[in-house]
Amino acid sequence: MTRSSRLSETETAVVVDVGATRTEAGYGGWHERNQAVRVEETPMKTDGLVAGLRSTVGELVEEARSAGRDVSAVAVGVPGLVDHEGRLVEAPHTSFGGVDLGDELAVDLPIAVENDANAQALGCSRILEHASLCYVALGTGIGGGIVESGEVVRGANGFAGEVGHMRAPVSTEPQDAHDGLCECGRRGCLETVASGDYLLETLGDRWWKRELPPDEERVVKRAGEAVGNAASQLAVLNDPESVVVTGKLTAKDVFVAGMRETYSRPWVDTDCPLKTHEHTWRFAREGLTEIARRAAEKSDCR
């Protein structure tokens, strides 16, 4: 490639945020706030994921090009563990795993694959202009990301910041039908008391649409308390500018009440370092656009 390593204002990224149940995708320039132009159901199996991504990415690249855009790179966020080479190693709440999506998609463009919550954490840090931030993504499972000096903390294997598998405080209350067994194979993780999967299994389909009796409300509050505790631990360990918790659950007052009851942060006198946002696409697109920009830059430097 001969073009300059400085990216022009007209260049565009195609970004796809794959959730455990829903996939959002769009394209936009580096400085644009692109909208989700597609919302699709996430396929259940790895081959379905690869086939679905291939057509989504292919179609968006075409769409962008026919709109006169110069597409420079693609970035995909996935709900699972992504190693330093960009391979999706495992995705506990789906049957995805052991796949190099960059290779499989074989697009004729630089492509980057990142853990969905890490990409969102990066985007959130850029939008809030908080160079140091802890991010908790409540969904089917619980994802997370830690940003330090504007960069995602990756760890030795690329798996740092998996908040959902921090241990929840030991509770004397009865656990779920699985006796606290988590999808990661251990017991007592935060996901076993606060994930979307757990609440769905305990309270039933569309539980958030109905009035909850006190015993069920207690389950949601306990989930909030567990997340508030985890957020406190993150704050103590990382000294971030804010802890951001995202997902539909943050629209539930009883959940947020539980979370705020247990969240505390020593030494730092700020009003409200625990922030909540119901929707994640804005963070995902910002983070993934930046990740795509870096992939384009890296390929220019080769």
Which residues are at the interface with Zn ion (CB under 5 A)? 165, 182, 184, 189
Supply 236's token pair: 């103590």
Q: Residue 141 Cβ, how far from Zn ion at the closest point, in Å?
A: 9
The rounded distance, in Å, linking the Cα atoms of 2 and 276 is 44
Q: Residue 93 Cβ, how far from Zn ion at the closest point, in Å?
A: 11
Output 165 or 222, the one with its CB closest to Zn ion.
165
Q: Residue 159 Cβ, how far from Zn ion at the closest point, in Å?
A: 12
Three-state SS at 217: helix
Output 93 or 154, the one with its CB closest to Zn ion.
93
- 70-78 and 38-41 beta bridge pairing: unpaired
- 242-246 and 274-277 beta bridge pairing: parallel
Supply 170's token pair: 């030991």
Q: Is residue 150 within 8 Å of residue 161, measured between CB atoms?
A: no
The rounded distance, in Å, linking the Cα atoms of 113 and 86 is 5
Q: Residue 197 Cβ, how far from Zn ion at the closest point, in Å?
A: 12
Closest CA to 197 of 118, 276, 138: 138
Q: Report the 10 Å Cβ neighbour count for 170.
A: 7
Name residue, tokens 């994802």. 143
Q: Residue 253 Cβ, how far from Zn ion at the closest point, in Å?
A: 27
Output 113 or 194, the one with its CB closest to Zn ion.
194
Output 87 or 165, the one with its CB closest to Zn ion.
165
Output 185 or 213, the one with its CB closest to Zn ion.
185
